[in-house]
Amino acid sequence: MPSQALPGFRDFYPDEFLLRAHIFRVWREVAARYGFEEYDGPPLEPLELYTAKSGPEIAGQLYGFVDKGGREVSLRPEMTPTLARMVAARANGLRKPIRWFSVPQLFRYERHQRGRLREHFQLNCDLIGEPGPEGDAELIALAVDIMRAFGLTERDVRVRVSDRRVLNALLLGGGVTEAQLPAAYAAVDKLERSRREELTAQLAAGGIDAAAADGVFETAAIRGAPALAAALEGVPGGAEAGAPLRRTLAALDAMGLGGFVDVDLTIVRGLAYYTGTVFELFDASRTLRAICGGGRYDNLLLSLGGVDLPALGFGMGDVVLGELLKERGLVPSGTASIDVFVAAITGDDVPHVLALAHELRDAGLRTEYALNLQAVGKQLKLADARNARIAVVIGPDDRARGEVMVKDLAAKQQRAVPRAAVVAELQTGIDTRPGT
Amino acid sequence: MPSQALPGFRDFYPDEFLLRAHIFRVWREVAARYGFEEYDGPPLEPLELYTAKSGPEIAGQLYGFVDKGGREVSLRPEMTPTLARMVAARANGLRKPIRWFSVPQLFRYERHQRGRLREHFQLNCDLIGEPGPEGDAELIALAVDIMRAFGLTERDVRVRVSDRRVLNALLLGGGVTEAQLPAAYAAVDKLERSRREELTAQLAAGGIDAAAADGVFETAAIRGAPALAAALEGVPGGAEAGAPLRRTLAALDAMGLGGFVDVDLTIVRGLAYYTGTVFELFDASRTLRAICGGGRYDNLLLSLGGVDLPALGFGMGDVVLGELLKERGLVPSGTASIDVFVAAITGDDVPHVLALAHELRDAGLRTEYALNLQAVGKQLKLADARNARIAVVIGPDDRARGEVMVKDLAAKQQRAVPRAAVVAELQTGIDTRPGT
């Protein structure tokens, strides 16, 4: 039998599953607070669903194959095409704005990507049918509140926000032509990872002269809303282009979240895809990859599914987030624990152990007992190994008095409790330590 | 763009996702009460993991393919081989008994199975390292308590229990030889779906004469523990063979769950796989397929993973269970709802709406507001459409008095509440209807 998972796939042993469950729980809780409803689609889709959005060259990065029915299919690399397909199929019947989220497992398979994960989980939140900048603020706020719910502050995590319309206005105002915009965007996108001379050469190759190239670098260097507003004043249509982002930032301020946000025009993201606001969340020290990325894609649903609805969304993966939470010590304790362990002193006590254990479980308490009769001391060791808070010991003498012995395993104290009262007492969390 | 999911795959729109989420939540809650810890493995595994357990012929039923690296792989059709692989890899470091559960999505692809689902979700619970019959009772009790947590009673669901050891003793005692056991088991398995003459012919073809065949039918017709005990008294080794099942049933009685259980030797399940107790859960009227099936497979971990540990487990799918819950009206309401909708009277009120909405979300309340300014009446219609319990209206006059208007949308009543008090009041669920 193969002894390992396929390369790039993770096993989640229970101690590792705890972090994943914690991440999923927080994602779901905060999304629900924002009125988002969960949906899901198939992990396998027609290959064409992805090539229709990203072009045939995407197939080289996908976990694709031909199924037994001769269909070209792929494990899903992203959720947006499935979302577009599902929304298009029921567009008229769905109340707008649509607030949907999903927690899909996503898959990629490029050859020669040794050591890299080929799957991850990703929270996808999308807001469909709302064209205004308050929608952008709503979505960014959701991403920020997820960070806060994990215990991360504005000193831990930063939101970098840009806007396609703003960058266009500034680049065009700085002498770049419409036709040269893709070359300019490519340079802005590479700014953090490349030397300036290299980029100048690339810009020149794209037909952008030295003066206009300086304009590109100046634009990309703008940080903060006031500097951006000043720059926009100097270009045609700048005030209009800057209005949506200004309103988005004002709304985030009104929610008390402005402190998380940096205006930063070097955030580019997919050029063919986004039409307005784009944003990414990073750890403040920028030692990790992006935690989350998203933006407004007002034309995508029309081009993919034939439904003309404005939309915006983000994706947040479990891997970088998990690394950050571990780094900051914000992960739940790695030890699973139970509430109560029930022990028998003699074989005659076993049916009573089973009955009480079942009552405790019915009361919602995580309960275990030894599945084969053994000495009480050994049973209590099992209770310790399972991190039980309480042990209940049932023996013939206590039973004759209608009692059981309740042991607080942390405090190392015990007292007799009436059998008829013990479930309610443990369930309501009444202090089980002896009175004196 | 393709407008539909692949054949056999489900889309889960939010109203459909609610039932799935309900099923998963109950599965996880009850498993946790039994001290079970959640794990997961990859949805894609080496094909060999499945052929090692079930033989090369299984490949025809699998969602298998050759990946870009030339590996023969398969979407997982079941969880047990992954479990065996994971346990084998860390067998020494894991505390026994291992109580693990998982909620994988599983996949099958037989050609010519038009109209059938090719994926489903399945709760898998396994108890590893415990040879005794109290382990069997523990696992059956877990399955039954899941049914009870869904609101199903012993009038809705029945557990049919058999035991390989019991059936062997009775068949051998009735004149069937060791070599003929597989033929006898095959006949018992088909008893409910085939005519007796057909089965007699099959048994004869397997070398089982008419007298022994009658014994097979008599054995299969045994129902209930007393009849079984009587039958076992009449065969060599019967008492010993019957002891584990008797103890399992006694333990279930002690837990108060005996009323769910029927001894029924026609439950066969995989012959190569199970070594002791086997059980299945069915709806009491038997109009649906099995809800759950499992049993003891003491040799499998050794043969698959090289780790000699006794084990037992069950699988419970989401499809039949979901059908039964729908049939009995035990599904959660299909309408998603929010707690609070916050509305603005004028544009000047919008920042105050944003601030309050964010405070309410921080307090854990599912909160929405209109993402673009519109008449209050229209905003309240949105609140209704989202099934909001409460609407909070913020206007200039109330603001001047430091108040907001809280509307109970069901009771159609409203009253002014101090802005400073409204979050705490709504959070603690204080009655928001007017005093008189």
Question: Which of A22, A25, A29, A40 would you mutate first to test chain B, the one with the most B CBs within 10 A?
Answer: A40
Taking only the tens place, the pLDDT of each residue in A111-156 is 766 778 999 999 999 999 999 999 999 999 999 999 999 999 999 9
Which H or E element spans position A195?
none
Q: Give yes or no: residues A363 and A300 share one domain.
A: no
User: What is the rounded CA–CA span in Å between residue B124 and residue B41?
Assistant: 12
CB contact under 8 A, A371 and B33: no
* From B21, B49, B256, residue closest to A1, measured CB to CB: B49
**Cβ distance of B145 and A37 shorter than 8 Å:** no
Which of the residues B36, B361, B365, B386 would you substitute to probe the A interface, choosing the one with the greatest number of A C-beta atoms within 10 Å? B361
CB contact under 8 A, B89 and A385: no
Supply the DSSP symbol for A404. E
B146 and A CB contact within 8 Å: no
* Contact (CB, 8 A) for B52 and A1: yes
Domain boundary among A271, A306, A327: A327
Clarify whether residues A417 and A316 are in a common domain. no
Q: In what order do the strands lie in the sheet with A413-418?
A: A367-369, A340-344, A390-394, A403-408, A413-418
Same domain assignment for residues B278 and B233:
yes
Selecting from A13, A30, A361 the residue whose C-beta is nearest the C-beta of B34 gives A361
Number of domains in chain B: 2
Let me know whether A144 and A273 are in one domain: yes
CA distances from A428 to A151, A364, A423, B181, B242 (A): 29, 11, 9, 54, 42
Query: In a 3-state reduction of DSSP, which class is residue A182?
Result: helix
Report how far residue B260's alpha carbon sits from residue B253's, in angstroms, rounded to the nearest whole number: 10
Contact between B6 and A86 using a beta-carbon 8 Å cutoff: no
Distance from CA of B135 to the nearest CA of A (A): 6
Which residue from A86, A99, A126 is spatially nearest to A294, judged by alpha carbons? A126
Q: Measure the CA–CA gap between A44 and A65, rounded to whole angstroms.
A: 10
- Residue B14 sits at the chain A interface (C-beta within 8 Å): yes
What's phi and psi for A43, nearest 5 deg?
-75, -15
Contact assignment for A41 to B5 by CB distance below 8 Å? yes
Q: Would A7 be classed as within a structural domain?
A: no
**Cβ contacts (< 8 Å) between A3 and chain B: which residues?**
85, 88-89, 305
Residue A3 lies in a domain: no
Sign for the pseudo-dihedral over CA of B171, B175, B177, B178: positive
Tokens at B373, concatenated: 């300014």
Q: Report yes or no: A302 at the B interface, CB cutoff 8 Å.
A: no
- Tell whether B6 is within 8 A of chain A (Cβ): yes
Average pLDDT over residues A274-296: 96
Tell me if A203 is assigned to some domain: yes
Q: Does A259 touch chain B (CB under 8 A)?
A: no
CA dihedral A353, B249, B247, A392 (to 10 degrees): -10
Domain boundary among B306, B327, B348: B327
H or E, element range at A388:
none
Do residues B270 and B297 share a domain?
Answer: yes
Rounded Cα distance between A141 and A133, Å, is 12
* Residue B378 contacts A, CB cutoff 8 Å: no
**Among B10, B42, B372, beta carbon nearest to A10:** B42
Residue with tokens 């079941």: B78
Other CB atoms within a 10 A radius of the CB of residue A153 amount to 12
Q: CA nearest A336 in B: which residue?
A: B37
Q: Which amino acid is at A174?
A: G
Percent helix, percent strand, percent coil in chain A, to nearest 5: 45, 20, 35
pLDDT in tens, chain B (436 residues): 888 999 999 999 999 999 999 999 999 999 999 999 999 999 999 999 999 888 899 999 999 999 989 999 999 999 999 999 999 999 999 999 999 999 999 999 987 667 789 999 999 999 999 999 999 999 999 999 999 999 999 999 999 999 999 999 999 999 999 999 999 999 999 998 899 999 999 999 999 999 999 999 999 999 999 999 999 999 999 999 999 999 999 999 999 999 999 999 999 887 778 999 999 999 999 999 999 999 999 999 998 878 999 999 999 999 999 999 999 999 987 666 899 999 999 999 999 999 999 999 999 999 999 999 899 999 999 999 999 999 999 999 999 999 999 999 988 999 999 999 999 999 987 444 333 2
Residue B300 near residue B194, CB atoms below 8 Å: no
Angle between helices A164-173 and A210-220 (to 10 degrees): 150
Give the per-residue pLDDT at B269. 86
Measured between beta carbons, the chain B residues lying within 8 angstroms of A24 are none
Sheet containing strand B72-75, strands side by side: B44-46, B72-75, B63-66
- Residue whose token pair is 């008994």: B97
Under the banding of pLDDT at 50, 70 and 90, the label for residue A436 is very low
The CATH number given to whatever domain includes residue A401 is 3.40.50.800
The reply to whether B425 falls in a domain is yes
Contacts of A137 in chain B (CB under 8 A): 354
| Residues of chain A contacting residue B383, judged by C-beta atoms under 8 Å apart | none
Same structural domain, B167 and B26: yes
Cα B422–Cα B426–Cα B427 angle in degrees, nearest 5: 115
Given B295, B327, B359, the domain boundary residue is B327
At residue A102, the 3 state secondary structure works out as strand
pLDDT tens string A166-187: 999 999 999 999 999 999 999 9
Assess if residue B162 is contained within a domain. Answer: yes
Q: Looking at the domain assignment, is residue A434 inside a domain? A: no
Spatial CB neighbours of A222, under 8 Å, sequence gap ≥ 6: A170, A228, A231, A263, A265
Q: Do B366 and A145 touch (CB under 8 A)?
A: no
Locate the chain B residue with the closest alpha carbon to A109. B68
Can you give the residue range of the structural domain that contains B416? 340-429
Model confidence, pTM: 0.95
Residues of A within 8 A of B338 (CB-CB) are 35
Of B49, B145, B354, the CB nearest to A2: B49
Whether residue B360 sits in one domain with residue B321: no
Give yes or no: residues A181 and A48 share one domain: yes
CA distance A61 to chain B (A): 10
> Is A178 a domain residue?
yes
- DSSP type of residue A343: E
Q: Cβ of A35 and B372 within 8 Å?
A: no
Q: Does residue A232 sit in the same domain as residue A84?
A: yes
State yes or no: pLDDT of A435 exceeds 50.
no
Q: Is B67 on the interface with A (CB under 8 A)?
A: yes
d(CA B318, CA B332) in angstroms, rounded, equals 15
- Please judge whether B89 and A41 are an interchain contact, meaning their C-beta atoms are less than 8 angstroms apart: no
Instruction: Please report whether residue B165 resides in a domain.
Output: yes
Residues 182-241, chain A: which have Cβ within 8 Å of B? none
Burial of A1 (0-12, 13-18, 19+ CB in 10 A): middle
A371 touches chain B (CB under 8 A): yes
Residues B142 and B271 in one domain: yes
Same domain membership, residue B178 and residue B73: yes
Q: Which residues of A touch B362 (CB under 8 A)?
A: 145
Q: What is the CATH number of the domain that holds A259?
A: 3.30.930.10
- Complex ipTM, two decimals? 0.94
pLDDT of B114 reads 72
pLDDT, one tens digit per residue, over A33-53 is: 999 999 999 999 999 999 988
| Amino acid, single-letter form, for residue A387 | N
B93-122 tens-digit pLDDT: 999 999 999 999 999 998 766 778 999 999
Give the CA distances from residue B284 to residues B167, B193, B264, in Å, rounded to whole numbers and listed in that order. 24, 18, 14
Question: If you average pLDDT over residues A417-435, what whole number do you get?
Answer: 75
What tokens appear for B123 in the block? 């709760």
Residue type, B91: A
Give the type of residue at B73. V
Count other C-beta atoms under 10 Å from residue B352's C-beta. Answer: 19
Q: Are residues B363 and B216 in the same domain?
A: no
| A317 within 8 A of A290, measured Cβ to Cβ | no
The two beta strands, A44-46 and B105-107, are unpaired
- Whether B344 has its CB under 8 Å from any CB of chain A: the answer is no
Are A88 and A307 in contact by the 8 Å Cβ rule? The answer is: yes
Taking 60 as the threshold, does the pLDDT of residue A434 lie above it?
no
User: CB A95 to CB B385 under 8 A?
Assistant: yes
- Main-chain dihedrals φ then ψ at residue B97, nearest 5 degrees: -70, 145
Do residues A3 and B91 touch, judged by C-beta distance below 8 A? no
Type of residue at B199? L
Q: In sequence order, what are the beta bridge partners of A161?
A: A263, A279
CA distance A168 to A175: 11
Answer whether A68 sits within 8 Å of B12, measured CB to CB.
no
Mean of per-residue pLDDT scores for chain A? 93
Q: Which helix (H) or strand (E) holds A143?
A: helix A133-149
